[in-house]
A and B are shown apart, each in its own frame.
Chain A
Amino acid sequence: MAKTVAEIQEWLNNPNHIKCILADINYYNGTVEKTINLSTRSYFDTALGVNTEYLAIITGGLSFSESLSTDLRISISYGTLEIENTGGVYDYLLDYIWKRREIVLYIGDASWRKSDFVIIFSGLVDNLVSSGESQLQLTIVDKLESLNETIATRTLKNLTGYSIQSTQEEKILPLLFGEVFNLSPIFVDTGINFDPGPWTAIIKNINSTSSIQVGQTITATNGIGQLYGGTVISCTVLRIIDINTIMYSVTATSRPIPGSITNLIINASPISAISSKTLLIDQVKGTGGPVYKVSDSGLNELVEARDKGAPIDILNNRVASYGEFQLKYSSFGTITCTARSRASSDCNVPAIITNILLNYGTNKLTSTDLDLGNIDSSRAAYKVGIYVTERANILDICNELAKSINCGLYYSLFTINSGIVSKGKLKLVELKAPTTTVNAVELNDSLMLENTLQVSESFTLKPSIKLAYCKNYTQQKEDLALGLNPEVGEIYKDQYWYVEVKDPTLINLYKDSGIVEEEITHLLVTSEAQSEANKRLDLWKTSRQLITATYLPDLLFLQLGESVTIKSNRFNLINGKPGIVYSINRDWLTGFVEVGVLV
């Protein structure tokens, strides 16, 4: 069983340890998927049933760095794995396919069994290249790279059975995640294909008997008959134009198609005389208006549909499965709606990101890849929504959502659970005001290497925070319904609503103008936007600094965003200050780790 974090730390502090890094790398050799085993020093995995030789040809590139940033883009740098290739012994590897194959790196003592080794990186290979005669370089990336692709790939061209015009075929079918306000759905059908009925049809060539009268309902005990493949539910005589042209209102399980020829087999009295006649359906009129698509992935609820800003009646039968709604009547102006892709309780950042990552893209993640739970519970519950109408990158969308709750998204190099290290997972890292945390790791002078402690960055203090939220996806300044209450009409004019929090004392103290640029979010609820703004003000109303130092291997397993305490006789840290881990640069060959702490 793999060593625990505590055991690894103790081992690294023993000067007699013999560090060995193992790499299991998958590739495709043109015929089958295989695994190559490389290492920094010779190693044989002789576990029962295994006899694997690790080629000791890794010579460098075992330094990995991760860093948060104030714009919440987490940068991760892996460098490249350097592979010895003197004399071109391993040139043949260049012919293989490495792209997006898994690579796992382990650290341990050369005398240990492989099962004792601990994972230090799990990710993907990007490429294998050679920059010189005696070296190969294996570029490695994290699994986020596999999300670097378009989320919406279906276009109108992929819709069949709709009356949408072919000129718009390349338009992307939109996707809704969470809840959004006043979006513009795309027109996909005149209604002709999805009208639920009942239909009225003029049926000609009926050799009627004189007993038929207007208003007469054709009734039957054993069903009424068949109309173009569907069962006729009811049939009423609307009008008698002449003896061969009688207009019926027909309710059927399928829509009669104009111009088609059908058998109206009436089993019931009083028109048994016309049974088995060939009839022409001359005109069909349904009850529904045009059909609009909101989201290609279905909807949980269409909260409200609007025509020129005024609520309108719709038919709901295609909402859940197709993400579409049909107007009951024709439209007058711009059709918009407010809709939800998931239950209200699931319209939060972790749930939506999970949904996206498990269901979209070529290289979908699985639930074992995700660990999105480790953030503030209130932030994790904030309602959000985003509407994707153009080709957009999966990673960008997830980052946008995470940013709304001041989090960054990254794929950790490894995960620690109860002291056991396992493969990395996709995580949210919260940039929050450091607070004193029980059992936080203490970074102190006995772990810092001399002459490495420095204040590497001072962050700008912010005495006010302004957040934009509740995006109005269709700005409507004109062309609103005449009957609309002017106050209601106002909400369609602006793109966002705003909340602003200020600290007047700080504004005075720092001679600040008090004017602040808004930060865009995908939040929806005023109270939650207010709370988010307060949290951001808490973070930035203090002069924050990044304190960086190089530490002993005891801190190799710190995680980005982790709460720590930093204590030193310099930089006013003598009594210890709470901080959060802002950057980590681990050098697995030396065992030293450079940690940046936000205090």
Chain B
Amino acid sequence: MRLIYNNLVDIASSLVADPVGIGSTNNLKNDRKSSVHRFQNLISDTVKYTLTWTTPQLINAIALPATNLLDNSTINVRLFASIGSTSPHTQSGTTFAAKDRLIQLPGNVTLPNYTHFSIGGATKTSIWLPGLATTTQKLEIIMAGTANIDCSRIVCGKYWEPARQVSRGITLGIQDSSESSVTRNGDVYINKTYIRESMQFELQYFTDSDRKQLLDIFRSWGSSNYVYVSVFPDNQNTEISRSYSIYGKSSDISLQYDIVNYYTTSLNLESW
């Protein structure tokens, strides 16, 4: 399980889209899923977000928690030591961004876009760079695809990973908030609203150093800030990796003391 909590995008000194696209790139800095930035495929197949910081940052995880990237879309993340640098110190290499993504949206939608994000039409993409210790002052996220690319949020920063993986019994939940109304004749009318995900799991018997780190996160981020969590970040089956990722916040935070130096907590994450 990996968790990105301190989203460095929010302190980036610049966030530039190339080509410019539609919508402000500031839309990528807020936590409203419907607030997006769009690259038009009509203009370019390959597109790029460039982020810079005034001081170098440690970045070893980049996630896009809501995009419309397709099965054949690719992503490459390049990290540079300085703003002026032209050769990256690290790059992920071009890889599929949403491999094996199935698009089965109601209404025969085959090319989902930002309008479907609230009804389960978004996918998640994450790039993990374990062991990376070099700091970064410029980050490029390069994507390519055959359709418009809509992106709602960029998350990047340093991830935290406990020494032990989460316990069995991870619960994934899908909550459809649509309401049904019945007429006096008995016909049912569906008022479609939004679909949200939830994920619940336990971290059992983790060590004292993980306890300290987790408590730090909870104290500072509380239950009001969104975190990006991936339970199986390196799974070969990218679909599994995507499904067991969530951009959300924990509704309750508690820590249980089990035995000496071992602790347990339960995370109940609700998606944005």
Chain A 42-84 per-residue mask, 1 if CB under 8 angstroms from chain B, else 0: 1110100001010111000000000000000000000000001
Q: What range describes how many residues of A lie at the interface? A: 35 or more
**The one of B35, B115, B187, B189 that contacts A110, using a Cβ cutoff of 8 Å:** B115
Q: Would A15 and B192 count as touching, CB distance under 8 A? A: yes
Closest CB in chain B relative to A570 CB, distance in Å: 9
**The one of B35, B179, B181, B187 that contacts A56, using a Cβ cutoff of 8 Å:** B35
Which residues 1-46 of B have a CB within 8 angstroms of A?
Answer: 22-24, 27, 30, 32, 34-36, 38, 40
Bound-state Cα–Cα, A322 to B17, Å = 67
Known: A44-B38, A590-B191. A16 touches B107 (CB 8 A): yes
Segment of A189-197, A378-386, A441-449, A474-482 in the binding face: A441-449
**Closest Cβ neighbor of A109 among chain B residues:** B115
Q: Would A446 and B24 count as touching, CB distance under 8 A? A: no
Which residues 4-41 of A have a CB within 8 angstroms of B?
Answer: 13-20, 41
**Closest Cβ neighbor of A14 among chain B residues:** B107
Find chain A residues with CB under 8 A from B30 CB. Answer: 89
Q: Would B35 and A448 count as touching, CB distance under 8 A? A: no
Known: A20-B115, A111-B115. A568 touches B35 (CB 8 A): no
By CB atoms of chain B within 10 A, which of A16, A42, A453 has the most?
A42
Closest CB in chain B relative to A292 CB, distance in Å: 66
Task: Determine if B266 is an interface residue (Cβ-Cβ < 8 Å).
Answer: no
Find chain A residues with CB under 8 A from B189 CB. Answer: 13, 449, 552
Task: Determine if B169 is an interface residue (Cβ-Cβ < 8 Å).
Answer: no
Known: A16-B107, A56-B32, A449-B181. A51 touches B115 (CB 8 A): no
**The one of B22, B185, B191 that contacts A445, using a Cβ cutoff of 8 Å:** B185
Closest CB in chain B relative to A56 CB, distance in Å: 4
Task: Determine if B168 is an interface residue (Cβ-Cβ < 8 Å).
Answer: no
Q: Would B22 and A51 count as touching, CB distance under 8 A? A: yes
Task: Determine if A487 is an interface residue (Cβ-Cβ < 8 Å).
Answer: no
Q: Would A446 and B191 count as touching, CB distance under 8 A? A: no
Task: Determine if B260 is an interface residue (Cβ-Cβ < 8 Å).
Answer: no
Closest CB in chain A relative to B39 CB, distance in Å: 12
Closest CB in chain B relative to A44 CB, distance in Å: 5
**The one of A14, A17, A448, A590 that contacts B183, using a Cβ cutoff of 8 Å:** A448
Find chain B residues with CB under 8 A from A20 CB. Answer: 115
Bound-state Cα–Cα, A453 to B35, Å = 39
**The one of A42, A84, A446 that contacts B36, using a Cβ cutoff of 8 Å:** A42
Bound-state Cα–Cα, A57 to B32, Å = 9
Task: Determine if B99 is an interface residue (Cβ-Cβ < 8 Å).
Answer: no
Find chain B residues with CB under 8 A from A16 CB. Answer: 106-107, 192
Q: Would A18 and B116 count as touching, CB distance under 8 A? A: yes
Bound-state Cα–Cα, A41 to B23, Å = 13
Task: Determine if A592 is an interface residue (Cβ-Cβ < 8 Å).
Answer: yes
A to B contact number (C-beta, < 8 Å): 80
Which residues 92-129 of B have a CB within 8 angstroms of A?
Answer: 106-107, 113-116, 118-119
Task: Determine if B190 is an interface residue (Cβ-Cβ < 8 Å).
Answer: yes
Task: Determine if B182 is an interface residue (Cβ-Cβ < 8 Å).
Answer: yes
Task: Determine if A517 is an interface residue (Cβ-Cβ < 8 Å).
Answer: no
Closest CB in chain A relative to B53 CB, distance in Å: 21
Task: Determine if A514 is an interface residue (Cβ-Cβ < 8 Å).
Answer: no
Find chain A residues with CB under 8 A from B183 CB. Answer: 445-450, 552
Q: Would B182 and A449 count as touching, CB distance under 8 A? A: yes
Find chain A residues with CB under 8 A from B118 CB. Answer: 18, 41
Bound-state Cα–Cα, A41 to B144, Å = 26
Closest CB in chain B relative to A592 CB, distance in Å: 7
Known: A53-B24, A445-B185, A449-B181. A18 touches B191 (CB 8 A): no
Task: Determine if A591 is an interface residue (Cβ-Cβ < 8 Å).
Answer: yes
**The one of A42, A53, A445, A446 that contacts B115, using a Cβ cutoff of 8 Å:** A42
Q: Would B184 and A44 count as touching, CB distance under 8 A? A: no
**The one of B114, B179, B185, B191 that contacts A42, using a Cβ cutoff of 8 Å:** B114
Bound-state Cα–Cα, A44 to B191, Å = 24
**The one of A84, A453, A591 that contacts B191, using a Cβ cutoff of 8 Å:** A591
Closest CB in chain B relative to A512 CB, distance in Å: 37
Known: A15-B106, A18-B192, A110-B115. A450 touches B34 (CB 8 A): no
By CB atoms of chain A within 10 A, which of B183, B190, B192 has the most?
B183
Find chain B residues with CB under 8 A from A19 CB. Answer: 192
Known: A44-B23, A56-B35, A110-B115. A17 touches B184 (CB 8 A): no
Find chain B residues with CB under 8 A from A43 CB. Answer: 115
Bound-state Cα–Cα, A55 to B24, Å = 10
Q: Would A55 and B35 count as touching, CB distance under 8 A? A: yes
Closest CB in chain B relative to A284 CB, distance in Å: 78
Find chain B residues with CB under 8 A from A552 CB. Answer: 181, 183, 189
Q: Would B34 and A56 count as touching, CB distance under 8 A? A: yes
Closest CB in chain B relative to A43 CB, distance in Å: 8
Closest CB in chain A relative to B12 CB, distance in Å: 17
Which residues 167-185 of B have a CB within 8 angstroms of A?
Answer: 178-179, 181-185
Q: 5 A-B contacts, Cβ less than 8 Å apart?
A: A17-B192, A89-B30, A450-B182, A450-B183, A552-B183
Q: Which residues of B contact A (CB under 8 A)?
A: 22-24, 27, 30, 32, 34-36, 38, 40, 106-107, 113-116, 118-119, 178-179, 181-185, 187, 189-192
Known: A15-B190, A57-B32. 19 other contacts (CB 8 A): A15-B106, A18-B116, A18-B118, A19-B192, A20-B115, A42-B23, A42-B36, A42-B115, A44-B22, A53-B22, A55-B35, A56-B32, A56-B35, A84-B32, A109-B115, A445-B183, A446-B184, A568-B184, A592-B181
Q: Which 6 residue pairs are nearest across A and B when measured between Cβ atoms?
A: A110-B115, A16-B107, A445-B184, A15-B190, A16-B106, A42-B34
